[in-house]
Amino acid sequence: MAVLVTGGAGYIGSHAVKRLLEEGETVVAVDNLYRGHAEAIEALGSVKPGTLHFSETDIADRDTLVRLMTEHGVDTVMHFAALAYVGESVTEPLDYYRNNTAGALSLIEACDKASVTKLVFSSTCATYGEPPKVPMDENTPQSPINPYGWSKLHVEHILRDYAHACRVNQKPFSYAALRYFNVAGSDPETLIGEDHEPETHLIPVILEAALGVREKIMIFGTDYDTPDGTCIRDYIHVCDLIDAHVAVMHALKPGDERFYTLGIGNGYSVREIIESVKRVTGKDFKIEEADRRPGDPAQLFADPGKINSELGWSASFTDIDEIVRTAYRWFEKHPNGYAE
């Protein structure tokens, strides 16, 4: 049997591929290489030679997915392939609905045709929108405030209805939707790492400033109702996130539907992240205070109690300096990303 990983050349998908290969799984990675990196796949080829199969395929190409699933005996899918910039989703909503929602529909249809029995879906805390309270958990109402969040919530709904039909038709299908917070850090062995173009995420942006790749870091908003006036977010290490995927994959039983909110359960402010980067890198850099970024709530952090009590998962990286350190190691080696 094999696991098909969509978006396998992307940041989170590539970490999933590495982990699955290390666990002895046969992995079929698909990626259209629009924002993924062929170099990541090349690097991953060395983990367990012969057990990674890569196909440059878009998830919209249902027939190719069915062929790959059938050829390799895929029984489980981990679905990461998606566009993931909130701001871009506001200006280009159709791209988000086509790639994220219609793309997932095509993938689920392929799963149906190829009798795939488990699917772990990379959802997002953006499906919760602006929460009435923090920490957020699975009972927080899902009310997205941007097309990115909607594009993923629609997929949760498609999965819900498909899983229901499978139960009625006695087809053995199960799925989980994992709603992540801010994913951070990189493979501690630096085989693969975080490389977005454009880069907008806080930790890599600050690291770029520390390494002189970027002129300065801008703090978006210093007048929030938080202890230091800057936004608070929950930064979960990418390896912890993948641990959770693997635990969920193993736990899924036919007919299961599982939803988990994935974060470390603790928030850090923008200023705290900047201080952490200074401690870890020993470097100083230019900081500019700017206006709030539209649509940024003051505080978002998770209550990961459900996945902890049901699957025994909790984040192993809870110290922000440790998380930043793994990101720094990668950036030190690859200040310009994979392109170098």
Q: Which active-site residues does the annotation give? A: 148
Instruction: Tell the smallest beta-carbon distance from residue 48 to ligand UDP (Å).
Output: 32
Q: Give the residue among 38, 75, 81, 36 at the shortest CA–CA distance from 61.
A: 81
Q: Which stretch binds ligand UDP (CB under 6 A): 95-103, 150-158, 194-202, 255-263?
A: 194-202
- The residue with its CB nearest to ligand UDP is 231
Instruction: Tell the smallest beta-carbon distance from residue 204 to ligand UDP (Å).
Output: 8
Give the Cα separation of 76 and 3 in Å (integer).
5
Q: Give the residue among 11, 262, 219, 325 at the shortest CA–CA distance from 123.
A: 262
Residue 200 interacts with ligand UDP (CB under 6 A)? Answer: yes
Our CB check for ligand UDP shows the closer of 94 and 290 to be 290
Our CB check for ligand UDP shows the closer of 68 and 221 to be 221
Our CB check for ligand UDP shows the closer of 27 and 238 to be 238
Residue 85 interacts with ligand UDP (CB under 6 A)? Answer: no
Instruction: Tell the smallest beta-carbon distance from residue 231 to ligand UDP (Å).
Output: 3
Residue 270 interacts with ligand UDP (CB under 6 A)? Answer: yes
Residue 202 interacts with ligand UDP (CB under 6 A)? Answer: yes
Residue 272 interacts with ligand UDP (CB under 6 A)? Answer: no
**Mapped to the 3 state alphabet, what secondary structure does the chain carry?**
CEEEEECCCCHHHHHHHHHHHHCCCEEEEEECCCCCCHHHHHHHCCCCCCCEEEEECCCCCHHHHHHHHHHHCEEEEEECCCCCCHHHHHHCHHHHHHHHHHHHHHHHHHHHHCCCCEEEEEEEHHHHCCCCCCCECCCCCCCCCCHHHHHHHHHHHHHHHHHHHHHHCCCCCEEEEEEECEEECCCCCCCCCCCCCCCCCHHHHHHHHHCCCCCEEEEECCCCCCCCCCCEECEEEHHHHHHHHHHHHHHCCCCCEEEEEECCCCCEEHHHHHHHHHHHHCCCCEEEEECCCCCCCCECCECCHHHHHHHCCCCCCCCHHHHHHHHHHHHHHCCCHHHC
Instruction: Tell the smallest beta-carbon distance from residue 199 to ligand UDP (Å).
Output: 9
Residue 296 interacts with ligand UDP (CB under 6 A)? Answer: yes
Our CB check for ligand UDP shows the closer of 254 and 294 to be 294
Residue choice 109, 293, 303, 308 for contact with ligand UDP (CB under 6 A): 293
Give the Cα separation of 94 and 283 in Å (integer).
41
Residue 46 interacts with ligand UDP (CB under 6 A)? Answer: no
Binding mask 215-254 for ligand UDP (x = CB under 6 A): --xxxx----------x-x---------------------
Our CB check for ligand UDP shows the closer of 127 and 174 to be 127
Instruction: Tell the smallest beta-carbon distance from residue 121 to ligand UDP (Å).
Output: 18
Our CB check for ligand UDP shows the closer of 111 and 219 to be 219
Residue 87 interacts with ligand UDP (CB under 6 A)? Answer: no
Q: Which residues bind ligand UDP (CB under 6 A)?
A: 182, 200-202, 205, 217-220, 231, 233, 270, 293, 296
